[in-house]
Structure 1
Amino acid sequence: MESNVVQLTESKKHMQHTHRVFGDQKKAFYNNPTPSLSERKENLSRLKQALLTYQDRILEAIDQDFTCRSRDESLIAELMPSVQGINHTLKHLGSWMKPSRRSVSVLFQPASNKVHYQPKGVVGVIVPWNYPLYLAVGPLVASLAAGNRTMIKMSEFTPHISSLFKELIEATFPEDLVAVINGDADVAADFSARPFDHMLFTGSTAVGKLVMRAAAENLTPVTLELGGKSPAIVSQDVPLEDAAQRIAFGKALNAGQTCIAPDYVLCPADRIQAFADEFRNQVSGMYPSLRDNEDYTAIINERQYNRLQDYLTDARAKGAELIEINPAQENLGDGTRKMPLTLVLKTTPDMKIMQEEIFGPVLPVVSYGNLNEAIQYINDRPRPLALYFFGYDRDQQRQVIDNTLSGGMCINDSLMHVAQDDLPFGGIGDSGMGHYHGKEGFLTFSHHRAIFTRQKFNSGKFVYPPYGTSFHKMVYRFFIR
């Protein structure tokens, strides 16, 4: 009982802090509603320098939160894309900020049309636990580039990096420009209820619906980066070594705890066993051992570990064949929270792993007869965040592109579309809405203000009342046709 009271008091403090900072950022924005290019670049450069200065501590903190998070995975999937995203933005921000000219119909000449990209105000960002640095920094870069103030709610499931990132931000920016909020789910719910000028949430579809509902009360526009079941199609003639190797990397990274990880494989029925054998070879080559292998990441916590074990138990009970890839045959069941990458064959639609996003090192393989059948299988389900096609036939590539919808797509690779600074990232349908990264991030967090300008001469006066003149009739004759 006492611990609940303490927790409630702590949550209340976080909420009060959230409300105060929100008010401070609102006031600061109105005092400087359009930061200059130099101000924005200075903020981005300070953020980059802070990330480089804190680099070792960041890697250590993430490792502590996972109990074992591969240092190289944190460098490859968190720190490097964060820094590269800043570099890309610094290089292009000047051109993004320039008003864009739009055409003016002869009916309204002489005049000019321009779109000015102005800051929205105070942006709220809600960060998940799986990539706590990258999914905080990416939206922050876009928000700062657009000239906004930013509040970031970190995940309570990554207390070490959440605390460190708060320290990093406080040492780098004034609180009325960027602020980090920590705390539990109640704090997150309160955070999402603030009347932000834009909010970006990354997480599950179920929680995304709650965030959008809270935002609707304030008419806050939202960008939702959700998840879902991202399929990987193995074609009839692609070399299985190529497909298995690239799928294995995408699935094993962060032990599958990635929103765009291949969730299941669609494989020709007569190639399933060969694919399974090649996949086992590829995973074994990358991870010859698991228990004490610092390259192989642990599951974030017991709750997620037990959820994944429940999926496997359910699949086995319903007739699935499980292929556990544990090359050194190590005992991993004593609290390490390391799970072998497990292939699941002979799946059926009623299995939990075929109904829920897996978000872990479990990979079902579903058979198909021809490519149209594989495409239909995908289209019969909610639109995924990512789709992967493995095959070198250009006509088949085009067939998949033209007949499916997903947030993003890779052809003959997995995950890599998210690392492209000049490509937008976002979902569609159940996998989310809106985009960010690169220029699309700048545009998402900017208000596109349309400005029509006349100078002294006003051609519009010729159509003013009284109506029915010969000039009106001529205008109608020429422009209503």
Structure 2
Amino acid sequence: MDAALPTTDAAAIARLERLFAAQRRAFAADPMPSAERRRDDLSRLEAALVRHQEALCKAIARDFGHRSHDETRLAELLPALEGIRFNRRRLKGWMRPARRRVGLPFQPARARVVYQPLGVVGIMVPWNYPLFLAIGPLVSALAAGNRALIKMSEATPASTEALRRILAEAFDETRVAVVGGEVTVAEAFAALPFDHLLFTGSTAVGRRVMQAAAANLTPVTLELGGKSPALIGDEASMAHTAERLAFGKGLNAGQTCVAPDYVLCPRDRVAALVEALTGQVRRQLPRLADNPDATWIINDHHHERLRALLDDAEAKGATAVPLLDADVLPAGARLMAPTLLLEVNDEMRVMQEEIFGPLLPILPYDTLEQALAYLAERPRPLALYYFGTDGAEQRRVIEGSHAGGMCLNDCVMQVAQDDLPFGGIGASGMGHYHGREGFLTFSHAKGIYHKGRFNAAHLIYPPYGGRLLQWLYRWWLR
């Protein structure tokens, strides 16, 4: 079925409920799809994305106002396709029942774990990477044998329609379906009794999603965000550090949940960092106006929010260092110059809220212990970036900090590693997906204990008090 999406929230909610019921019935009729069926699903998805990549790039660019097709291919399409291929190659091994040990007192018997699909999975997608953050969870859900409903963001209507058409071409809607709609539809979506619900978005909305899911005891995976720091060590190459920071912060104009949110830098190296970042940003993005590589801020609301963060910081004593000239931007262009912020403090909103844009505060520190203490006092972020070559210092940072994931001498690239789990901790989320962890998240590990005809356990059945029990107690209860 390829009918257009409903134009009212009431109609969208009615369609959502019909789709959910239909997927429930379809799963009940086929609760354990074969490896061949799952591989076919993944191959269908791969072929559809490759075939319609140009339409997806154009739709995403329309939603942003402007975004380079290269950025969409590199940051969304390429990792989505790599994830499909990674899962497809390993799927059969992941599905294989796992033998488990049976304790001596319970012999003879066998034990194993069978990985079963959960059923119908809900996927709530944010606006910043509408393709990758829909397809990544979908790949894990399909690999685990589930049906999936995808709720796209109201901020990306063109992407929603493009992905709906593409997935409707590849799948019957009883297997995979896309819904759009405003906040009321999202609330109705989160309130459905899914077998698992994965949400990617802000911490504030994540709390509401978890509260709605709790009414149905729906298990949730929350991929949130927070203020992901970059910590520069004394031995770090400033040229390499600046190059990678400029890319990680500049990608999608900073509208990335794992973008470096602020930098902790040795006090005597701050000036060198500012100089190196200035050079790297101007090399990677020489200008804002008429630059096909410059991504716009998603909408007026977020553009005004970022301007307000900058104004608040400057009003409270921060020094702003714009790295590009933004004075000649065309009217209506939602572009913002990459800007460093010096002399920031915790009273500023920019140090209290996730920035999600091209503003980068730099905080000086005097000792590594001081920097680690600063991190420990704050909510645990989705990502932590450490730059430095000293092995002992790397270990101190790894062992002395908490974050959902970590990069050494790079940033954002951890997300594209299919053999690494991706997920937050504390305020940055809960649960994991990608690769095998995604398969496990969307599977039920059913433990099975198998007894044959011979049953030695009858020797310990009531009435109690025999010598065998005394012997068992003597050997096992000590």
> So what's the TM-score if we normalise by structure 2?
0.98
Q: Which deviates more, 290-299 or 420-429? A: 290-299
Which residue of structure 1 aligns with residue 365 of structure 2?
368
Which residue of structure 2 aligns with residue 459 of structure 1?
456
> C-alpha separation between the residues in 2 aligned to 1:22 and 1:229?
35
Name which of 399, 424, 438 aligns with 2:396: 399
Which residue of structure 2 aligns with residue 106 of structure 1?
104
Instruction: Report SS of the residue matched to 1:449.
Output: strand
- Unaligned 5+ segments in structure 2 are 1-5
Matched, 1:421 2:418: yes
> C-alpha separation between the residues in 2 aligned to 1:269 and 1:258?
27
Superposed displacement of residue 334, structure 1: 2.3
Which residue of structure 2 aligns with residue 338 of structure 1?
335
Superposed displacement of residue 9, structure 1: 7.5
Name which of 291, 294, 316 aligns with 2:292: 294
Superposed displacement of residue 333, structure 1: 6.6
Matched, 1:305 2:315: no
> C-alpha separation between the residues in 1 aligned to 2:7 and 2:318?
48
Name which of 136, 140, 143 aligns with 2:141: 143
Contact 1:82 1:137 in 2 (8 A): yes
Matched, 1:473 2:475: no
Which residue of structure 1 aligns with residue 150 of structure 2?
152
- Deviation string for 1:136-168 (max 9, x for gaps)? 000000000000010000011011011110111
- Deviation string for 1:68-117 (max 9, x for gaps)? 11111101110000000000001000000001111111111111111110
The amino acid of 1:109's aligned partner reads Q
Which residue of structure 1 aligns with residue 3 of structure 2?
none
> C-alpha separation between the residues in 1 aligned to 2:252 and 2:62?
14
The amino acid of 2:236's aligned partner reads V
Instruction: Report SS of the residue matched to 1:21.
Output: helix
> C-alpha separation between the residues in 2 aligned to 1:450 and 1:331?
65
Instruction: Report SS of the residue matched to 1:42.
Output: helix
Superposed displacement of residue 283, structure 1: 0.3
The amino acid of 1:215's aligned partner reads A
Contact 1:50 1:172 in 2 (8 A): yes
Which residue of structure 2 aligns with residue 3 of structure 1?
none
Contact 1:332 1:339 in 2 (8 A): no
Name which of 163, 168, 171 aligns with 1:170: 168
Instruction: Report SS of the residue matched to 2:269.
Output: helix
Which residue of structure 2 aligns with residue 32 of structure 1?
30
Superposed displacement of residue 40, structure 1: 0.4
Which residue of structure 2 aligns with residue 354 of structure 1?
351
Contact 1:146 1:445 in 2 (8 A): yes
- Deviation string for 1:218-254 (max 9, x for gaps)? 0000000001000000112212111111111000000
- Deviation string for 1:38-74 (max 9, x for gaps)? 0000001000000011111001111111111111110
> C-alpha separation between the residues in 2 aligned to 1:439 and 1:9?
38
- Deviation string for 1:364-421 (max 9, x for gaps)? 0011001111111111000000000000000000000000000000000000111001
Contact 1:69 1:296 in 2 (8 A): yes
The amino acid of 2:396's aligned partner reads Q
Superposed displacement of residue 270, structure 1: 1.2
> C-alpha separation between the residues in 1 aligned to 2:445 and 2:329?
53
> C-alpha separation between the residues in 1 aligned to 2:202 and 2:13?
23
Superposed displacement of residue 273, structure 1: 1.2
Contact 1:291 1:330 in 2 (8 A): no
Instruction: Report SS of the residue matched to 1:291.
Output: coil
| Equivalent residues, number | 474
Which residue of structure 2 aligns with residue 441 of structure 1?
438
- Unaligned 5+ segments in structure 1 are 1-7
> C-alpha separation between the residues in 2 aligned to 1:237 and 1:86?
38
> C-alpha separation between the residues in 1 aligned to 2:49 and 2:95?
25
Superposed displacement of residue 330, structure 1: 4.6
Contact 2:423 2:429 in 1 (8 A): yes
Superposed displacement of residue 443, structure 1: 0.3
> C-alpha separation between the residues in 2 aligned to 1:477 and 1:403?
44
> C-alpha separation between the residues in 1 aligned to 2:460 and 2:445?
29
Name which of 45, 53, 61 aligns with 2:59: 61
Contact 2:236 2:389 in 1 (8 A): yes
Provide the identity percentage: 52
Which residue of structure 1 aligns with residue 248 of structure 2?
250
Which residue of structure 1 aligns with residue 8 of structure 2?
10
> C-alpha separation between the residues in 2 aligned to 1:474 and 1:446?
41
The amino acid of 1:88's aligned partner reads F
The runs of at least 4 consecutive aligned structure 1 residues that moved more than 6 Å come to none
Contact 2:289 2:330 in 1 (8 A): no
The amino acid of 2:461's aligned partner reads Y
Which residue of structure 1 aligns with residue 378 of structure 2?
381
Instruction: Report SS of the residue matched to 2:165.
Output: helix
Superposed displacement of residue 169, structure 1: 1.1
The amino acid of 2:105's aligned partner reads L
Contact 1:125 1:151 in 2 (8 A): yes
Q: Do the aligned partners of residues 140 and 9 (structure 1) sit closer, same or farther apart at CA in structure 2, a change above 3 Å counting?
A: closer
The amino acid of 1:428's aligned partner reads I
Instruction: Report SS of the residue matched to 1:387.
Output: strand
Which residue of structure 1 aligns with residue 118 of structure 2?
120
Instruction: Report SS of the residue matched to 2:259.
Output: coil
1:143-292 equivalent positions in 2, closer than 5 A = 143-292=141-290
> C-alpha separation between the residues in 2 aligned to 1:366 and 1:395?
23
Contact 1:204 1:226 in 2 (8 A): yes
> C-alpha separation between the residues in 2 aligned to 1:320 and 1:419?
34
Instruction: Report SS of the residue matched to 2:153.
Output: coil
Instruction: Report SS of the residue matched to 1:367.
Output: strand
